[in-house]
Chain A
Amino acid sequence: MPRNFVDENTVKLTVNDKIYIDVELYTGEKFTMLEPHRLFPVSGLMKYISLLDEEGNEQMIIRDIERLMPESKEALLNCLNERYMIPKITRLIKRTEKFEIWMWTVDTDRGEFTFEIINSYQSIKILYDGRILIKDGNDNRYEIPDLYALDKRSIKLILPDV
């Protein structure tokens, strides 16, 4: 089945229910309660957004959020921000280890939080663009956008794990 790539200039998106959006095409065709999914949630946050219906069937793909009309772009980004929660770590407050389970207390853009890392070798990944992705013991994700932009103490605490 061919994918339905929509022309970003001819589509109007409006938030329906926090994580769902309604779509109106220039042809007048309307879709309601579509759920946006990033096809590249790690490597391309603003590209290739798949819109799924309530059954999980893909209705269309938006190639580039930046090309949408401002109101549609805002609606889609609001939806995506609700759905995707990858707190950005701004400071490592405390790092303790017991029996190879690491406990990190961090400051993030969503507030302070404490989580466990069961196996630092598998749960902390450094990407080639310098970002560090972390998965905690409950499969929640966190991101350090730039390790060297953190304070010296945080860098010193994190460096052995990456």
Chain B
Amino acid sequence: MNEVINTDVKTLLTNKPIPSVFEQRANELLCGSSPLMAVVGDLKLDGKYGESLLLVCADRLIAIDHLHENGGIMMLFEDIEKAEVKRMYGNALFRAKTNDGKNVDLIRFTYSATDLCDAVGDFIRHIKDGDDIDEQTEVVKITYDNLRCFCPKCGRKLASPNADCLNCKGKSKIASILYGYIKPHIRMLIISIILSVITTAMALVPPYITKMMVDDIIPQKNMQFLIYTIVALLGVYLLQYSLGALRAYLLRLAGDKIIADLKKDIYAKAQFLPMKFYDKTSTGSIINRINSDTTQLQNFMLRITQEAVVQLFMMIGIIIIMVIMNWKLALFSLIPVPIVAILSRFFGRKLGPMYRRLWRRMSSISTILSDTIPSIKVIKSFTNENNAINKFNRYVDDWMREDKTTAKISSIFPNAITFFVTCGSLVIWFVGGSYVINDNTDLTLGVLVSFISYASMFYTPVNFFASLSDSYQNALASTEKILDIINAEPEHNFGEGNSPKFFEGKIEFRNVNFSFDRSKKILNDVSFVIQPGETVGIVGTTGSGKSTIINLLMRFYDDYEGEIFVDDINIKDIDMDFFRSKIGFVQQEPLMFRDTIFNNIAYSLPGAHVDQVINAADIANAHTFISRLPDAYDTTLGERGVGLSGGEKQRLSIARAVLKNPNLMIFDEATSAVDSETEKLIQDAIDRVIRGRTTFMIAHRLSTLRKANRILVVDKGRIIENGSHDELMALKGKYYKLIQIQSMSEKVAADKQAENFE
């Protein structure tokens, strides 16, 4: 009996191997039918974790779960009215509704299997509609292929089968990141190290001269030699500090260059990250990474490349001198070293997680700032200043609490180290002092004093290396956040270099499904074809998926199922820069930069001639109001276009879109936030712009769509109506109802207006 499933598994579409415990029952229920696809669920019907199985054949489906009677059920498609995923919260059911209206729960699963079950539901619907089985199996196969598209190395989802994993390919580890930024400035850093070595070597001279003065020059009362020695010391100090100043300058220069490179790279990388990254990452956290984390990393890099080398050199030099002076005392001075090593490891482990938590708190504060400061108008208008202050204070207190805990450990740490190091000096005093007092070795007072000086110098690098773990942990926390951006997958540009010669503007959506996250499906099996030059209106209630269609067409999100074609070429196979350069996009809320009006319009076509900009402004009905401004095109706008009305900003954004002469125009609720008079101005501009171009218009005011050749009605992520205004009115469906509702409300508004006039 097991043979049916076992043989088919090789060709069977499945997300996981079929659990062997289900094979027997599955084969019994299959009664010889061959399954085309399978979904292995990760929940049992009672909501406990465990496996379940859904098998789909050409005419039936089989569900296996121990809660089903006899462990499984079989249903023929002809007995099913519909089968679909019922998304709940953190889990979902695949349910079938029988022809007599009864709901049957087939399998239960977490969100991990929702995409597959959606595809299976669509498959059953298409088969019941009489569509071709092979064709529909191919459609489902794409979903399975997407699911199987995981990098074997890191397990991250790939953009397409056999695609390179950008996550692994471009993976940079902390060491290689450090090296990458240090390499261009290596000469400057090497010079700096050489200078450090010289100054350090010079620092080793004075204690030796001290020994000479104590043991020889002063007891022998040799005044002339004393002067020579002091002059020599003066020379040493002068050279030491002059070279020190030069070194500090070179270090500062190298450090600034490193941090500048780092900031530039992170910002550049951030430009090419997909919208999904920004949906999930707060602006404050990104700003925090570019500003403070890079500084943190720079400090650490300089410590490692400079201080560490110098301190190491110093440590070795001192050990050699101490051994030469008195090897027994030298051994005593090494006693604290293992204790310091153990302590720094212990504290390092404690500090690492603390710095990570501290970073989270600091990032939350940045998020609050980037959220509230630009919204200060809203805060003031709701007199919410005190609440905003309280919320901010709460976050700062939270950070302070965390910092207090970290401060305890990071303060105890260096002092504990210094304590043990000081104890080391005491040991040398005791042992060396005993030798001098008992006079049983050749150790003189001068040698002991000089030795103590070297010992205190020796403990400086020991202290340094011990405290390095503190700054290492701090830098590690920052580096991880920087890596988050540097290693994030950028937008995929599979069609790089592929710029079709002609861009006619035929658009086709084929079985497109999309969800921002798996808890809610936004687009459901969307298919339509738009011919070049057509003006298409997209209507539907808020949240129906209108803007998502545009977002996918603009390639803001690439991880949808199904395919989108422009002039019969998959948009993923077209060079992204070329593709987007052919689209003019006018958003509901026009975004302006803090720059002149001229530069804001010319943003779409850098280097545009003045005539071109004026012409674009003219087409967009913006020239008249611009020319009336005191500074006209030189008017500098405030942040996000402060200083202009909504309608004015909208006309500038239309001018900006027009300037690059796109083949495809998209208007996303362009007139939704303006008064009737401004709407007319904008509408006139739009009418001029869309001539000869394929145009998508999302509009709430349906009256603005009457000129559209075709109207797509979107409802709950599906295209439910598709046709001209007259066709849809004759259909008396959703569009007809929307028109009716809007006509009524427009009439009421007009009546009210008339009353007011009276």
Contacts and interface: CB of A to CB of B under 8 A. Distances in A.
A18 B357 contact: no
Interface in A12-61: 17-19, 38, 41
Interface in B99-142: 103, 105, 110-112
Given A110-B49, A121-B363, A85 B90 contact: yes
A141 interface: yes
A110 B88 contact: no
A19 B88 contact: yes
Interface string B440-483: 00000000000000000000000000000000000000001101
Given A138-B518, A160-B357, A18 B363 contact: no
A90 B112 CA distance: 22
A86 B90 contact: yes
Contacts of A112: 49
Contacts of B50: 111
A84 B89 CA distance: 5
Contact of A140 (B47, B111, B487): B111
Contacts of A149: none
Interface string A87-123: 1000000000011110000001011110010010110
Interface string B340-367: 0000000000001100110010010000
A112 B42 CA distance: 11
B110 A119 contact: no
Contact of B281 (A19, A81, A122): A122
Interface residues of A, number: 33
Interface string A109-147: 011110010010110000000000000001111000000
Contact of A119 (B89, B103, B356, B484): B484
Nearest to B168: A99
Contacts of A138: 110-112, 518
A85 B91 contact: yes
Interface centre among A38, A112, A138, by most chain B C-beta atoms within 10 angstroms, is A138
Given A86-B89, A98-B155, A121-B360, A140 B484 contact: no
A99 B156 contact: yes
A161 to B, nearest CB: 8
A110 to B, nearest CB: 5
Contacts of B110: 85, 138, 140
A139 B353 contact: no
B422 to A, nearest CB: 33
Interface string B239-254: 0000000000000000
B285 A82 contact: no
A160 B89 contact: no
A110 B112 contact: no
A159 interface: yes
Contacts of A141: 89-90
A160 B49 contact: no
A83 interface: yes
Nearest to B515: A139
Contacts of B519: 139
Contacts of A159: 353, 357
Contact of B103 (A17, A41, A86, A87): A17
Given A100-B484, A138-B518, A160-B357, A82 B47 contact: yes
Contact of A99 (B93, B154, B352, B517): B154
A162 interface: yes
B487 A139 contact: no
B88 A84 contact: yes
A111 B88 contact: no
Interface in B315-372: 352-353, 356-357, 360, 363
Interface string B155-199: 110000000000110010000000000000000000000000000
Interface in B704-756: none
Contacts, number: 86
A119 B105 contact: no
B280 interface: yes
Contact of B280 (A82, A100, A122): A122
Contacts of B156: 99, 101
Interface string B598-638: 00000000000000000000000000000000000000000
A98 B154 contact: yes
B522 to A, nearest CB: 13
Contacts of B90: 84-87, 140-141
A85 B86 contact: no
Nearest to A83: B88
A101 B105 CA distance: 34
Contacts of A81: 47
A136 to B, nearest CB: 8
B48 interface: yes
Contact of B49 (A84, A101, A113): A113
Nearest to B49: A111
A19 B48 contact: no
Contacts of B91: 85, 140
B353 A99 contact: no
Contacts of A85: 43, 47, 88-91, 110
Nearest to B103: A17
A82 B49 CA distance: 14
Contacts of A101: 154-156
Interface centre among B47, B93, B483, B519, by most chain A C-beta atoms within 10 angstroms, is B47
A110 B105 contact: no
A110 B47 contact: yes
Contact of A160 (B103, B154, B155, B352): B352
Interface in B645-678: none
A71 to B, nearest CB: 22
Contacts of B285: 121
Contacts of B483: 100
Interface centre among B88, B167, B285, by most chain A C-beta atoms within 10 angstroms, is B88
Nearest to B167: A99
A160 B440 CA distance: 57
Nearest to B352: A160
A14 to B, nearest CB: 16
Contacts of B112: 138, 140
Nearest to A126: B360
Given A139-B518, A159-B357, 6 more contacts: A18-B105, A84-B89, A84-B90, A98-B154, A101-B156, A140-B110
5 contacts: A85-B47, A98-B155, A110-B48, A141-B89, A160-B353
Complex A-B, nearest 7 residue pairs according to Cβ-Cβ distance, in ascending order: A160-B353, A111-B49, A85-B90, A85-B91, A139-B517, A99-B154, A138-B112
